[in-house]
């Protein structure tokens, strides 16, 4: 009896530890296969779809021996699986080739432009969360009211409007007509050469250096594209907040809290929102990833020197190394944020933990 | 005893709502009627439906409705006229072309993009999802891994890279958007399949000797359709926006085609003085994608009342 009990206990213990191991293993497999898949797709786009990538580099009027040499340099005479092996090896060491347009290694270019995109996406997400969460809560609490309808329509328009068009029109209004914001770009030309960035996040850099005029200028530049991107994440965040809050407000603990005589404000903002907060963090993380992507079109409108502008500029100049390098980076960040939000959700919500 | 049950007149309200339909035809119509009743309670959804019907109408009769040639303008007398000019309600662009006529003809391109993307992406998603869900095991694992990889991609960036490799043009843009939009459909179809995979009617068909192929094709797929249609409708707005974005970057439809996104791009140069050239096509995009969003929301609420209001 006791013997079977202990074996059962050890077996249970072992199965528990192996299930954690399994979960970690499954997570690793997910990361690796997703990343390899990403590389496979970009490999396919860059090497398989074009009829001859060597011709794309040297042009179709190049003499045959030049084309042959370039083919050899690129490893195009190797079988595809070997090419893919080298491709993955290069990508893992951050080698995406050289940009035809800037003549720099693509990775250096990306390192230079990436902070601009992150700064923009961060401002957008902060804006979206700051306004989206209260709006969503309001819509849920006053369900079916005029306020709910307005929040719904504002969100629906956010889902439906072409961002580049809204950007153009807002530039005409707020920059050209009203002069409230600065012209496209990150900084005025005056500061462009006097200001030395440290992290690449200009708002943050100017603050820690105590350069208030630069901070104000950077703020005037980022506010419009940031608010625009923020509107899109607002649409998503407010809709999800409303749905989570509706779910929480139907729970029994809300009735219990009301019976205890807690104020409605306290119930809504401390009890219900706190519980809705866990899935909300996932939503905010996902909208952050979405903004990294949405910045592609926004940056072209606002001449924002980030990854999106880099990719579109390279596109116009048929600079495939740069386009695919940018795609891999955006894709990797996307994957990383997805996985992180998944992990965060599991850590924060005890219900999803495996017992 | 002698009271004969009053059979309601065919196609009347009572006939449709009867809880004892006497034919398959009646049952189907009755179900459709209930869904329609639920759908039409929602005013915004009706507005969406109206917008989409208007789009279909405009696209079908573009030749009759458009007052001018969409491609060839009047360079002599009609360059950059503001909205409200005589004969040109929405103004003209830099080549003297009537913007209204271009928008009307552009609706055909928009419709073409939506229909082709849906026709390519939805069946791929449906097949991958149902096969994956019904087969299970390693087939499921592999197919879902592939789906997840595509799902992890940022859609617009992948579409950009694809078009960059394939070359600009509306056909390639459609292909690129389709390649990036099927994964959610596969996930939905798989989830639906899993809910009735082990149910009795599937076992019954299996006992009658139906092959897995037949089961998936005739019994699993039809049941996945309604949720798939809702999702495709909700995605239409996103498809329109992606297509417009590609057009705006010069990667979609090429000039002189009156594609709405490309029209915004061409109006960008003189946006400060002649704002309407870029503004009007944007309104068209906004209205149509809003229409699809409203319609999709309404359909979801009508087909799945459990989700309503969430």
Burial label, A77 (beta-carbon count in 10 A; 0-12, 13-18, 19+): exposed
Are residues A297 and B293, on separate chains, in Cβ contact within 8 Å?
A: no
Cβ(A164)–Cβ(B245) under 8 Å?
yes
Interface of B with A in 225-244 (CB under 8 A): 237, 241, 244
Interface confidence, given as ipTM, is: 0.84
Domain assignment present for residue B82? The answer is yes
Residue A326 predicted with pLDDT over 60: yes
What distance, in Å, lies between the first and last C-alpha atoms of chain A?
Answer: 25
What's the pLDDT band for A4 if we cut at 50, 70, 90?
Answer: very low
Determine the pLDDT at residue A275. Answer: 84
Would an 8 Å CB–CB cutoff place B268 in contact with chain A? yes
Are A19 and A73 found together in one domain?
Answer: yes
Distance of alpha carbon B22 from alpha carbon B184, whole angstroms: 38
Kindly state the average pLDDT of the residues B50-61.
94
Our CA-based measurement puts residue B310 at a distance from the nearest CA of chain A, in whole angstroms, of 5
Out of A60, A92, A124, a domain closes at A92
Determine the pLDDT at residue A28. Answer: 85
Indicate the pTM of the whole model. 0.86
Angle of helix B137-151 relative to helix A2-43, nearest 10 degrees, comes to 50
Show the domain range for B289: 51-303
Q: CA B68: distance to chain centroid? A: 29
Are A144 and A215 found together in one domain?
Answer: yes
Determine the pLDDT at residue B284. Answer: 94
pLDDT tens digits for range A30-44: 888 888 888 988 888
pLDDT tens digits for range B143-179: 988 898 888 777 888 888 888 888 888 999 999 999 9
Are A253 and A303 found together in one domain?
Answer: yes
Determine the pLDDT at residue A1. Answer: 39
Q: Where residue A345 sits, what CATH number does that domain have?
A: 1.10.3720.10
- Spell out the residues 6+ positions from residue A266 whose beta carbon is closer than 8 angstroms to its own: A257
Would an 8 Å CB–CB cutoff place B261 in contact with chain A? yes
Residue B78 predicted with pLDDT over 90: no
Domain assignment present for residue B77? The answer is yes
Q: Where residue B89 sits, what CATH number does that domain have?
A: 1.10.3720.10
Domain assignment present for residue A8? The answer is no
The label of the residue with tokens 């809290």 reads A257
**Mean pLDDT, rounded, of chain B:** 86
Q: Which long-range contacts (CB under 8 A, 24 or more apart) does A43-47 make?
A: A43/A83, A43/A84, A43/A87, A45/A324, A45/A327, A45/B161, A45/B162, A45/B164, A45/B165, A46/A320, A46/A321, A46/A324, A46/B165, A47/A76, A47/A80, A47/A83, A47/A87
Kindly state the average pLDDT of the residues B20-42.
84
Residue A234 predicted with pLDDT over 90: yes
pLDDT tens digits for range A90-135: 888 888 888 877 888 889 999 889 999 999 999 999 999 999 999 9
Determine the pLDDT at residue B306. Answer: 53
- Say whether the peptide bond before residue B190 is cis (omega within 30 degrees of 0): no
Residue B1 predicted with pLDDT over 60: no
Are A236 and A132 found together in one domain?
Answer: yes
Domain assignment present for residue A202? The answer is yes
DSSP state of A352: G
Are A88 and A155 found together in one domain?
Answer: no
Our CA-based measurement puts residue B156 at a distance from the nearest CA of chain A, in whole angstroms, of 7
| Of the partner residues A34, A41, A172, the one whose CB lies closest to the CB of residue B272 | A172
> Which tokens is A305 given?
């020197």
Domain assignment present for residue A219? The answer is yes
Distance of alpha carbon A238 from alpha carbon A140, whole angstroms: 10
DSSP state of A350: G
Distance of alpha carbon A37 from alpha carbon A115, whole angstroms: 26
Residue B221 predicted with pLDDT over 50: yes
Domain assignment present for residue A10? The answer is no
Residue A82 predicted with pLDDT over 50: yes
Determine the pLDDT at residue B5. Answer: 57
Instruction: Decide which of B52 and B154 is more confident.
Output: B52
Q: Number of A:B CB contacts under 8 A? A: 140
Determine the pLDDT at residue B310. Answer: 39
Domain assignment present for residue A104? The answer is no
Would an 8 Å CB–CB cutoff place B160 in contact with chain A? yes
Work out how many domains chain A is built from and give that number: 2
| Of the partner residues B149, B155, B237, the one whose CB lies closest to the CB of residue A160 | B237
Out of A33, A59, A92, a domain closes at A92
Residues B185, B186, B189, B193: what is their CA dihedral angle, to the nearest 10 degrees? -170
Chain B residues inside the 8 Å CB shell of A294: 156
| Of the partner residues A156, A157, A327, the one whose CB lies closest to the CB of residue B157 | A327
3-class secondary-structure state, position A119: helix
CA-atom Rg of chain A in angstroms: 26
Are residues A320 and B165, on separate chains, in Cβ contact within 8 Å?
A: yes
Domain assignment present for residue B37? The answer is no
Determine the pLDDT at residue A3. Answer: 44
Are A122 and A65 found together in one domain?
Answer: no
What's the pLDDT band for A16 if we cut at 50, 70, 90?
Answer: low
Are A164 and A290 found together in one domain?
Answer: yes
The residue of chain A with its CA nearest to that of B48 is: A156
pLDDT tens digits for range B250-268: 888 888 889 999 999 988 8
Are A261 and A331 found together in one domain?
Answer: yes
Interface of A with B in 132-161 (CB under 8 A): 143, 156-157, 159-161
Kindly state the average pLDDT of the residues A85-90.
86
What's the pLDDT band for A200 if we cut at 50, 70, 90?
Answer: confident
What's the pLDDT band for A151 if we cut at 50, 70, 90?
Answer: very high
Are A79 and A178 found together in one domain?
Answer: no
Q: Helix H segments across chain A?
A: 2-43, 53-58, 64-74, 80-92, 106-141, 146-160, 163-170, 189-192, 202-208, 212-249, 252-259, 264-266, 273-301, 307-316, 320-348
Out of A92, A126, A152, a domain closes at A92
Domain assignment present for residue B295? The answer is yes
Chain A residues inside the 8 Å CB shell of B251: 315
Nearest to B245 by CA among B152, B124, B113, B102: B113
Instruction: Decide which of B140 and B152 is more confident.
Output: B140
Show the domain range for A66: 15-92
Determine the pLDDT at residue A98. Answer: 82
Q: What percent of chain A is predicted at pLDDT more than 90?
A: 17
The residue of chain A with its CA nearest to that of B308 is: A243
Domain assignment present for residue B80? The answer is yes
Are A155 and A304 found together in one domain?
Answer: yes
Which of A37, A41, A160 best probes binding to B when mutated, by most B CB atoms within 10 angstroms?
A160
Residue B126 predicted with pLDDT over 90: yes
Domain assignment present for residue B145? The answer is yes
Domain assignment present for residue B21? The answer is no
Distance of alpha carbon A76 from alpha carbon B215, whole angstroms: 45
Domain assignment present for residue A185? The answer is yes
Beta bridge partners of A145: none
pLDDT tens digits for range A215-232: 888 888 889 999 999 999
Determine the pLDDT at residue B43. Answer: 84
Are A221 and A295 found together in one domain?
Answer: yes
Instruction: Decide which of A309 and A18 is more confident.
Output: A309
Residue A153 predicted with pLDDT over 60: yes
Positive or negative, the CA dihedral B6, B9, B10, B14 is: negative
Q: How many CB atoms lie within 10 A of CB A246?
A: 18
Residue B97 predicted with pLDDT over 70: yes
Q: What percent of chain B is predicted at pLDDT more than 90?
A: 33
User: Which of B16-30, B105-119, B196-210 is predicted with the least confidence, judged by mean pLDDT?
Assistant: B16-30
Are A119 and A46 found together in one domain?
Answer: no
Determine the pLDDT at residue A165. Answer: 93
Work out how many domains chain B is built from and give that number: 1
What's the pLDDT band for B309 if we cut at 50, 70, 90?
Answer: very low
Q: What percent of chain B is predicted at pLDDT more than 70?
A: 96
Our CA-based measurement puts residue A300 at a distance from the nearest CA of chain B, in whole angstroms, of 9
Domain assignment present for residue A78? The answer is yes
């Amino acid at each position: 009896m006791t013997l079977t009990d202990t074996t059962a206990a050890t077996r249970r213990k072992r199965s528990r530890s192996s299930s954690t191991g399994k979960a970690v293993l499954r997570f690793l497999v997910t990361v690796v296969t997703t990343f390899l898949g990403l590389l496979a797709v970009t490999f396919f786009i860059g090497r398989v779809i074009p009829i001859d990538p060597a011709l794309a580099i040297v042009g179709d009027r190049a003499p045959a021996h030049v084309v042959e040499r370039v083919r050899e340099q690129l490893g195009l005479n190797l079988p595809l699986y070997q090419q893919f092996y080298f491709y993955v090896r290069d990508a893992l060491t951050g080698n995406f080739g050289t940009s035809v347009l800037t003549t720099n290694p693509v990775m250096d270019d990306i390192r230079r432009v990436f902070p601009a995109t992150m700064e923009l996406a961060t401002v957008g997400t902060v804006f979206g969360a700051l306004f989206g969460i209260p709006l969503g809560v309001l819509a849920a609490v006053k369900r079916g009211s005029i306020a709910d309808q307005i929040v719904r329509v504002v969100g629906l328009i956010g889902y439906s409007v072409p961002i580049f068009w809204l950007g153009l029109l807002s530039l005409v209004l707020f920059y050209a007509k009203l002069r409230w914001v600065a012209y496209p770009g990150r900084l005025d030309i005056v500061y462009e050469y006097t200001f030395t960035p440290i992290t690449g996040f200009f708002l943050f850099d100017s603050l820690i250096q105590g350069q208030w005029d630069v901070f104000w200028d950077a703020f005037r530049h980022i506010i419009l594209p940031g608010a625009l991107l923020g509107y899109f994440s607002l649409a998503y965040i407010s809709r999800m907040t409303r749905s989570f809050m509706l779910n929480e407000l139907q729970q029994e603990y809300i009735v219990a809290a009301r019976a205890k005589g807690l104020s409605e404000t306290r119930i809504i903002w401390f009890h219900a929102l706190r519980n809705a907060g866990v899935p909300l963090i996932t939503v905010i993380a996902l909208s952050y990833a979405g903004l990294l992507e949405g910045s592609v079109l926004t940056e072209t409108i606002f001449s924002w020197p980030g990854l999106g502008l880099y990719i579109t500029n390279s596109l116009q100049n048929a600079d495939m190394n740069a386009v695919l390098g940018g795609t891999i980076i955006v894709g990797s960040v996307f994957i990383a944020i997805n996985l992180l939000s998944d992990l965060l959700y599991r850590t924060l919500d005890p219900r999803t933990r495996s017992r | 005893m002698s009271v004969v049950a009053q059979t309601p007149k065919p196609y009347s309200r009572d006939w449709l709502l009867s809880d004892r339909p006497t034919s398959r035809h009646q049952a189907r119509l009755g179900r459709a009627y209930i869904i329609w009743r639920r759908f039409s309670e929602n005013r915004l959804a009706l507005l969406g439906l109206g917008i989409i019907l208007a789009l279909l109408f405009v696209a079908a009769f573009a030749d009759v409705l458009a007052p001018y040639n969409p491609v060839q303008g009047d360079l002599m007398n009609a360059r950059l006229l503001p909205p409200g000019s005589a004969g040109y309600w929405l103004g003209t662009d830099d080549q003297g072309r009537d913007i209204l006529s271009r928008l009307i003809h552009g609706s055909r391109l928009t419709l073409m993009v939506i229909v082709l993307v849906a026709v390519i992406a939805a069946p791929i998603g449906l097949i991958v999802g149902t096969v994956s869900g019904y087969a299970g095991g390693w087939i499921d694992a592999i197919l879902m891994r592939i789906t997840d990889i595509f799902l992890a991609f940022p859609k617009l960036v992948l579409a950009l890279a694809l078009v960059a490799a394939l070359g600009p043009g509306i056909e390639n843009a459609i292909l690129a958007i389709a390649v990036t939009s099927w994964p959610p459909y596969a996930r939905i179809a798989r989830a639906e399949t899993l809910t009735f995979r082990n149910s009795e009617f599937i076992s019954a068909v299996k006992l009658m000797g139906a092959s897995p192929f037949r089961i998936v094709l005739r019994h699993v797929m039809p049941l996945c359709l309604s949720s798939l249609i809702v999702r495709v409708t909700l995605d239409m707005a996103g498809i329109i926006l992606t297509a417009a974005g590609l057009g705006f970057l010069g990667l979609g439809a090429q000039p002189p085609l009156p594609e709405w996104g490309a029209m915004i791009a061409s109006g960008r140069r003189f946006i400060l003085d002649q704002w309407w050239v870029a503004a009007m096509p944007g309104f068209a995009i906004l209205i149509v994608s809003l229409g699809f969003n409203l319609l999709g929301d309404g359909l979801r609420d009508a087909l799945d009342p459990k989700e309503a209001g969430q």
